[in-house]
Structure 1
Amino acid sequence: MDSLFYNFTLIQILGTCFGVTQVLLARQNYIHNYLFGIVSILLSIWIHYHSQLYADIVLSLYYLVMSIYGWLYWQFGKKNNPPPIQYANRLDYIISFGIVLFCFGAMSFWLINYTDSDVPIWDATTSAFAWAGMWLMAKRKMENWIFLNISNIITIPLLIYKELYIYAALTGFLFVVGVSGYLKWRKLIQDENQPTRHQPATT
């Protein structure tokens, strides 16, 4: 039991280090943030399995796929390399809330009927918003920070309930970085849209 607790603590620390690095690099709009994220995801899968957070395992697998997709999209985007940061449009919002509703419904049904999860609704809700947020981040949409932070707010007490205090602290840190990331990306958009000194604004 002591060995399992030690492994839990060690893996949480390692996962936290890689997760912090990933989100700080994402805040700086650095393309290789996804590589650090992938390592953090793989470590979190082990933790979530032993904590019976099954929706988070599925979420982590989704994170893994979206991290690979996001890295490729940022690296080999269509016309721009990488594609510019943008605000979500109406279609993006429709897709995002569609992801939230579908994920919540599917995860709740699965957790309630086919797992021994003791927090099915709670777990499904955190995952639903995170799924949408990760999709928006891969598409380089500003609103990814909002959806991810909604998930973070709900996740912190869930992790405390599961006695995963290191991951709860990491999630609190991610919430702060999420706010900072939103402000940073907003400034990047403003800088991209601001005319240069040598190029007058077009009318």
Structure 2
Amino acid sequence: MLVTIDMSLLAEQIESTSLLEWIAVGFGVSEVLLARKNNVLLYPAGIIGILCSGFLLVDAKLYAETLLHAYYLVMSIYGWAMWKNRSASGASQISRSTGAEQRITWAIALGGWAFLYFMLTNFTDSDVPVIDAFVSSTAWAGMWLLAKRKLENWIWLNVSNLVAIPLLFHKQLILISFLTIFLFVVAVFGYFDWKKELDRPHEKFKTV
């Protein structure tokens, strides 16, 4: 896939970006930065960003993407509750995925990939159904792990980001592609920050 950057298109996109879209991007960036810091406020920030994006997607008649954001909204509410839950069933501390959780993660990723591919090929005019479905399904898996406060969420989210970057450039969504590059870099640091926190067995986890 040949990727070229049209700087005039980038400038045009920046100039035409609405206030609501800037707010959505701003809260999206805040969400990932707060996630890197292991701060539960990532969820209210994410919810605001998702709601703003949802209005934009409905206005653009991108109903499939709107449904995807609805999933993110549900997982954000679930994750917020899990992170605040101090009981054994909650996710008040960073941890690594168990074997059972890894199997669930793979089931979400592969099952989601197959489901989204079927939907895209049968009910949309998508010309990149395989890659588009992969980007979303791996993000689904990552969001589920983030809700569980699992270290591996960063790996899955960055697999999604890594594939999404050239796809977005290919679709000439330059502004969003640069945002995704930024999120990719932050997620790399997020993984190592969480791992460092996790590798401190004699210190109390930060659970802001």
Q: TM-score range with shorter-chain normalisation?
A: 0.7 to 0.9
Quote the residue 2:164 is aligned against.
155
In structure 1, C-alpha distance between the alignment counterparts of 2:61 and 2:163, rounded to whole Å = 17
**Aligned mate of 2:149, from 140, 143, 146:** 140
Contact (CA 8 Å) 1:8, 1:47: kept in 2 or not? no
Question: Which amino acid is 1:89 matched to?
Answer: T
In structure 1, C-alpha distance between the alignment counterparts of 2:190 and 2:173, rounded to whole Å = 25
TM value normalised by structure 2: 0.82
Contact (CA 8 Å) 1:85, 1:142: kept in 2 or not? yes
Question: Which amino acid is 1:9 matched to?
Answer: T
Cα RMSD between the aligned structures?
2.4
Question: Which amino acid is 2:101 matched to?
Answer: D
In structure 2, C-alpha distance between the alignment counterparts of 1:158 and 1:73, rounded to whole Å = 33
Q: 1:82 to 1:150 in 2, by over 3 A?
A: closer
SS at match of 2:39: coil
1:155 positional shift: 0.9
Quote the residue 1:9 is aligned against.
17
In structure 2, C-alpha distance between the alignment counterparts of 1:62 and 1:29, rounded to whole Å = 22
Contact (CA 8 Å) 1:12, 1:166: kept in 2 or not? no
SS at match of 2:94: coil
Structure 1, unaligned runs of 5 or more:
197-203
Identity %: 43
In structure 1, C-alpha distance between the alignment counterparts of 2:127 and 2:106, rounded to whole Å = 26
**Aligned mate of 1:88, from 92, 97, 119:** 97
The answer as to 2:137 corresponding to 1:128 is yes
1:90 positional shift: 1.0
In structure 2, C-alpha distance between the alignment counterparts of 1:94 and 1:82, rounded to whole Å = 18
Contact (CA 8 Å) 1:51, 1:162: kept in 2 or not? no
Q: 1:26 to 1:88 in 2, by over 3 A?
A: same
Contact (CA 8 Å) 1:99, 1:132: kept in 2 or not? yes
**Aligned mate of 1:65, from 69, 74, 78:** 74
Quote the residue 2:202 is aligned against.
194
Count of aligned positions: 190
Quote the residue 2:127 is aligned against.
118
Question: Which amino acid is 1:122 matched to?
Answer: I
In structure 2, C-alpha distance between the alignment counterparts of 1:169 and 1:48, rounded to whole Å = 19
1:98 positional shift: 0.5
